[in-house]
Amino acid sequence: GEDVEQSLFLSVREGDSSVINCTYTDSSSTYLYWYKQEPGAGLQLLTYIFSNMDMKQDQRLTVLLNKKDKHLSLRIADTQTGDSAIYFCAERNYGNNRLAFGKGNQVVVIP
Amino acid sequence: DAMVIQNPRYQVTQFGKPVTLSCSQTLNHNVMYWYQQKSSQAPKLLFHYYDKDFNNEADTPDNFQSRRPNTSFCFLDIRSPGLGDAAMYLCATSNGGAGNQPQHFGDGTRLSIL
């Protein structure tokens, strides 16, 4: 079955980089996503990576995938106060409409 | 802009009084999802529609029902809300089928039970 683990809390100073980690258990996961949730809002899709990729960069966001260790990370460069939110990783198998979410990681950016 | 719209943003109902939450989309996606999210937790899938086909999750209580009258709209009905049903309810949509089909979420409806 699918099981996705995330660490819970990260505090970072404005301008520094922040790294959020996620591990998953389903080796057949094909698509891995990062979502951002600000207080009182829905989930905003930030970025995604296919399982045949090792890295994807999208402006300030860098996603690293270690498929052997089933480890996914999201690095946010030059973290801003607007990056304060909860970040969820999620995995999906090919042909499956369901997402398996991690528990989320709250990022607090200190000015 | 194309989007997923949930109404209302905040809903208050009484214990045991039926309530309906609504979701509409302009993305023309064929899959629509309803999630329940409690404080400091990940969203929990209740059910989803693939076109007109309803897919219930095994652990979704019978108290929760859904309707999808057309592609654009989907409703969540809670027949007899209990205090434990107070939560954020999120609607999402995606294109079904193979390939990368990310889910797009609305801003949610926060449900309070008096």
Is the pLDDT score of A7 beyond 70? Answer: no
Bond prior to B18 in cis (omega within 30° of 0): no
Q: Cα(B54)–Cα(B68) distance, rounded to whole angstroms?
A: 9
Q: Are B113 and B16 contacting, i.e. CB atoms less than 8 angstroms apart?
A: no
Q: How far is B17 from chain A (nearest CA, A)?
A: 24
Partner-chain residue, chosen from A31, A33, A104, that has the shortest CB–CB distance to B42: A104
Q: Cα(B47)–Cα(B64) distance, rounded to whole angstroms?
A: 9
Extract the tokens encoding A60: 């300030």
Nearest CA-CA partner of B74 in B110, B42, B114, B109: B109
Mean pLDDT of chain B: 94
Tell me phi and psi for residue A82, to 5 degrees.
-70, -10
Q: How confident is the model over B65-74, as pLDDT tens digits?
A: 999 999 999 9
Cα dihedral B97, B41, A39, A78, rounded to 10, equals -80
DSSP character for A27? Answer: T
Compare all CA atoms of chain A with the CA of B88 and give the residue at the minimum distance: A40
3-state DSSP call for residue A67?
coil
Compare all CA atoms of chain A with the CA of B31 and give the residue at the minimum distance: A97
Partner-chain residue, chosen from A31, A42, A97, that has the shortest CB–CB distance to B100: A31
B98 pLDDT band, cuts 50/70/90, is low
Q: How confident is the model over A26-55, as pLDDT tens digits?
A: 777 788 999 999 988 999 999 999 988 999
Q: How confident is the model over A54-83, as pLDDT tens digits?
A: 999 999 999 999 988 989 999 999 999 999
Compare all CA atoms of chain A with the CA of B36 and give the residue at the minimum distance: A42
Q: Which residues of B touch A40 (CB under 8 A)?
A: 107-108, 110
Q: Cα(A92)–Cα(A29) distance, rounded to whole angstroms?
A: 6
Partner-chain residue, chosen from B50, B104, B107, that has the shortest CB–CB distance to A41: B107
Q: Cα(B39)–Cα(B73) distance, rounded to whole angstroms?
A: 26
Is the pLDDT score of A2 beyond 70? Answer: no
Q: How confident is the model over B34-52, as pLDDT tens digits?
A: 999 998 889 999 999 999 9
The reported pLDDT for the residue numbered A1 is 47
